[in-house]
């Protein structure tokens, strides 16, 4: 592996080749290897801060360092780019904005984003943050598909994984412009520990390869995609470019409320999503016509309906478990939503099962 340590950017570094890099509209980045890793660290946005970029491929290592200040302003203002490979962004520390086709999306520690080959985008730093980008060529994915014919176990089918399936669909469609938003569930708020571990393994294998490193890299990529594909740990939302930018935030609000059966306060949601409670309330109002509190109640009532049909818990204990203020309040809200009392709902469900 040959090392290139320089203090200025380049249109070609043996890992990536940038076309139209002087364009004010968009540039095109070509991956010169089957796989590459880019570790970006922004120390902050003050003049004395700095940005480190480390790129790795099986053939090359490329290191770039610059001071922040005006350089960060230029970095964030660079033109959007697209590329001929698939790019998974993992936020290891802090938060960044991913600007996709002109819309800004906030990503914080433990979240991920998979960009296809056709979508124009750029990351923008707003403070201290560490990111890992994993670039995978179409040939890398095709090779995995070919190799799976020799896998030992039946449950190793790549098409069963939604991330691989997204990439496979894109390989067969040159015009598709979508991306995947990958957001940890409420029960997986410590996702960053596993993401750090898998990222460190990849970086170590790329920097210090030994016999079997190729298989190890492919194995970790599969392990990472399988971890992200676990529906109990992450919510994967395919986002089409025509989707409004705030709909993704509404989707994240809905996922967290679903994870907790609506038992999250406005302030708790604000802490989890890094937006003000008032703004979150306005987003919910826009898409549902309800305030955040009333929208949260729909998830609690949905859980109540489920418990009524699957358990023999008393209605009083159920109301207490779901944090309704009292039994009467629960009765009134349930009847307003379902048109019958909780007891009638349970009887009707039991009758329909006969």
Q: How far apart are CA 206 and CA 202, in angstroms?
A: 6
- For 316, other C-beta atoms within 10 Å of its C-beta total 11
pLDDT at 7: 38
Low-confidence ranges of the chain (pLDDT < 70): 1-12, 21-25, 68-70, 174-175, 242-245, 350-354
Please spell the DSSP secondary structure of 18-87, one letter per residue.
Answer: EESTT-SSEEEEEE-SSEEEEEEEE--SSTT-EEEEEEE-SSEEEEEEEESTHHHHHHHTSPEEEESEEE
| Residue 135: count of CB within 10 angstroms of its CB | 24
Contact 155, 169 (CB under 8 A): no
Instruction: Return the closest-CA partner of residue 68 out of 89, 91, 83, 51.
Output: 51
The 10s digit of each residue's pLDDT in 46-75 is: 878 888 999 999 999 999 888 766 677 778
Question: Whole-angstrom Cα distance, residue 200 to residue 267?
Answer: 34
Q: Please answer whether residues 48 and 55 qualify as being in contact, where contact means their C-beta atoms are separated by less than 8 angstroms.
A: no
Enter the tokens of residue 220.
Answer: 């970790």
The pLDDT, as a whole number, for residue 256 is: 95
**Predicted model pTM:** 0.86
């Amino acid at each position: 592996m040959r090392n290139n340590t320089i203090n200025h950017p380049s249109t070609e570094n043996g890992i990536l080749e940038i076309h139209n890099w002087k364009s004010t509209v968009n540039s095109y980045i070509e991956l010169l290897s089957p796989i590459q890793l880019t570790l970006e660290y922004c120390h902050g946005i003050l003049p004395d801060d700095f940005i480190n970029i480390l790129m790795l491929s099986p053939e090359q290592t490329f290191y770039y360092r610059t001071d922040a200040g005006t350089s960060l302003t230029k970095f964030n203002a660079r033109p959007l780019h697209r590329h001929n490979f698939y790019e998974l962004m993992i936020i290891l520390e802090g938060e960044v904005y991913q600007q996709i086709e002109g819309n800004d999306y906030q990503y914080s520690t433990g979240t991920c984003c998979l960009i296809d080959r056709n979508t124009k985008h750029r990351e923008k730093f707003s403070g201290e943050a560490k990111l890992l980008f994993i670039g995978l060529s179409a040939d890398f994915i095709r090779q995995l598909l070919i190799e799976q014919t020799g896998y030992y176990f039946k449950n190793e089918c790549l098409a069963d994984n939604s991330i691989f399936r997204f990439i496979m669909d894109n390989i067969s469609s040159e015009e598709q412009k979508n991306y995947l938003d990958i957001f940890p569930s409420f029960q997986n708020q410590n996702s960053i520990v596993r993401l750090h571990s898998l990222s460190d393994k990849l970086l170590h294998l790329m920097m210090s390869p030994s016999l079997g490193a190729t298989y190890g890299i492919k194995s970790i990529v599969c392990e990472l995609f399988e971890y992200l594909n676990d529906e109990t740990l992450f919510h994967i939302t395919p986002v089409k470019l025509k989707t409004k930018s705030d709909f993704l935030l509404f989707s994240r609000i809905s996922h967290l409320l679903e994870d907790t059966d609506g038992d999250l306060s406005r302030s708790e949601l604000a802490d989890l999503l890094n937006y003000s409670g008032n703004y979150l309330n306005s987003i919910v109002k826009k898409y549902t016509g309800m305030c955040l509190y009333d929208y949260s109640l729909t998830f609690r009532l949905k859980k109540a309906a489920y418990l009524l049909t699957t358990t023999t818990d008393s209605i009083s204990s159920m109301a207490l478990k779901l944090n309704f203020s009292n039994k009467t309040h629960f009765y009134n809200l349930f009847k307003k939503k379902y048109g019958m009392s909780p007891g009638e709902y349970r009887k009707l469900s039991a009758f329909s099962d006969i």
